[in-house]
Amino acid sequence: MCWSRSPRRDFNHRSAHNPSEGAKGRERLDSAIEVLVLLCERVEPPRGELEHIHYFCGNTEITEDLDEREPLRARFTSPSSPLFGHLAGLQMLEAAEYGVADIARIKGQLDYHVNVCEVVRRASGESLDLKSYEADMRYLLDTYIGAWERGKISPFDGIGPTGVVAAQYSGCRFSSSI
């Protein structure tokens, strides 16, 4: 197998020639969606961001709640969760013989769950939203780190690394004549 080819492309390539591979892909994809739906089944209606945070994190200010719900949250937010692993791209959905309407529905579900996963990660402290710090970091960089003109910082003008080593071992003084 060529290193430049990803397994997903290889899967898509095989499924174009073997219809049973497309059916297997569809079966795996359907089971991944079902797992995600089952994970979110107990989230209280209206199933918004706050309800997902309460279900997967509990009270975010109490570390015991976060620790208690960590395995459940890890299954939901893990990048290797079944849905994220199987929904790699549009080609895979087409190879799994989904219709245009199904592809749009699945893509919508994926976008929604990716957003909710990021919200849950931020609420649990597993992910940082650095955007709120961006202006402060820029201020610190502009205030305390400056870009000045280059100046002479060593007596090694015109001497390469080999010249420095040779001069040290030969007992010579540094000069620009070396």
Task: Work out how many domains the chain is built from and give that number.
Answer: 1
CA nearest to 54, candidates 39, 69, 36 = 69
The 10s digit of each residue's pLDDT in 116-127 is 988 999 899 888
Give the separation between CA 121 and CA 157, rounded to whole angstroms. Answer: 53
Q: Which pLDDT score, from 0 to 100, does residue 71 have?
A: 92
Q: How many CA atoms lie within 13 A of 1 on its CB side?
A: 9
Q: Does a structural domain hold residue 162?
A: no
Predicted confidence (pLDDT) at residue 88 exceeds the cutoff of 90: no
- State the pLDDT confidence band at 10, using cuts at 50, 70 and 90: very low
Distances, alpha carbon 138 to alpha carbons 56, 61, 142, 145, in Å: 34, 30, 6, 10
Q: Does a structural domain hold residue 167?
A: no
> How high is the mean pLDDT of the chain?
75
Q: Does a structural domain hold residue 47?
A: yes
What pTM did the predictor assign?
Answer: 0.57
Q: Does a structural domain hold residue 163?
A: no
> What string of DSSP letters covers 45-82?
TT--HHHHHHHHHSSTT-HHHHHHTHHHHHHHH-TTSH
Q: Does a structural domain hold residue 147?
A: no
Give the separation between CA 95 and CA 28, rounded to whole angstroms. Answer: 12
Q: Does a structural domain hold residue 61?
A: yes
Predicted confidence (pLDDT) at residue 84 exceeds the cutoff of 80: no
Q: Residue 40's domain spans which residues? A: 7-129
- Omega into 46 within 30° of 0, i.e. cis? yes
Q: Distance of alpha carbon 75 from its chain centroid, rounded?
A: 16
Percent of the residues in the chain that have a pLDDT greater than 90, as a whole number: 20
Per mean pLDDT, which of 15-19, 27-31, 89-93 is the most reliable? Answer: 27-31
Per mean pLDDT, which of 10-19, 64-73, 104-113, 160-169 is the most reliable? Answer: 64-73
> What average pLDDT score do residues 147-173 get?
74
Q: Does a structural domain hold residue 174?
A: no
Q: Does a structural domain hold residue 75?
A: yes
Q: Which pLDDT score, from 0 to 100, does residue 8 have?
A: 40
